[in-house]
Structure 1
Amino acid sequence: MSLIGHAYLLPEAKIQALLQNPADVFGVIDGAYNAPEHGFVDLDKAWHCLHYLLSGSAQAGEGPLAFLLAGGTPVGDEDLGGAGPARVFGPPEVSVIAGALAEVSETTLLERLEVKKLEALGIYPGRWDHLNLKSDYELGYYFGPFRGLQRLTLRARDEGLGMILWIS
């Protein structure tokens, strides 16, 4: 089974409603898949590598750049696929994340990308010794979702939206 990361924009009122009724998270997730134009990024299996490259931690980490595995508020306690419950971030939190992501470049991420370290730390999805760091196609698998997160969080900041993250 694969673990796939997702991020989707939500208005604050929807976030509060989800926190009051966590079972509604499945409807929100279905809505994200059915209307991605409303602000959706599919991180695919790149989520853990991106988390590590942004936060410097294989685990949860601290600070706004650790948002892929830390922070936010859990939506209930239902594990959505092996990485815990979905987490929501209110507009102020997403604004901070957007600012932090805007300061990170692909060059910075590439400088942090050490395949031996990724393998040693057990960064998902593994098989790092096969990654060709000179291939724009292979690097695009990680940098595409990174750029998507930058755009998504900037949009959220500009429109006063929050965000839900889940791994399923």
Structure 2
Amino acid sequence: MGSSGQSGGFDLSFKILLIGDSGVGKSSLLVSFISSSAEDLAPTIGVDFKIKLLTVGGKRLKLTIWDTAGQEKFRTLTSSYYRNVQGIILVYDVTRKETFANLSNVWAKEVELYSTSQNCVKMLVGNKVDKDSEKAVSSEEGIALAKELGCLFLECSAKTRENVEQCFEKLALKD
């Protein structure tokens, strides 16, 4: 999954897109991964992106991670960001069943419609597992949907950083 970039001090470069409903924690996942801190963030307006360089499996990787707005009014903006993307992370909030349902009803359809890359790796991520007592979507439901959509699957918490790095590394290694 990725393009070579020997001249830039890295072996592979990846464009990754974060999608999902507003408030599921896409920006928090990204901030937690980039800066090792988790904070409550205001909703993204339009699109934001961050770059992270890391070494995984002996390879130097450059990840350009695009964080999209989940609100419907920004959807038309996001379609162009699907072009040439090598990884898509579909995020839902494990405490909000409707955000999980929208992965099938809205987001997976959008991926099919706009993604131009044949080898694009997709990952389903259930965020906010630190709120275990409020969990509304079981791990089994997540695994089943990931299989149905042909995605990798992981549950994580941007707040506690549980599985956050694994989320991005697992996606990048799936080349």
TM-score normalised per structure 1: 0.29
Query: Of the two structures, which has the highest relative contact order with CA contacts closer than 8 Å and spacing of 6 or more?
Result: 1
The structure with the greater share of residues assigned to helix is 1
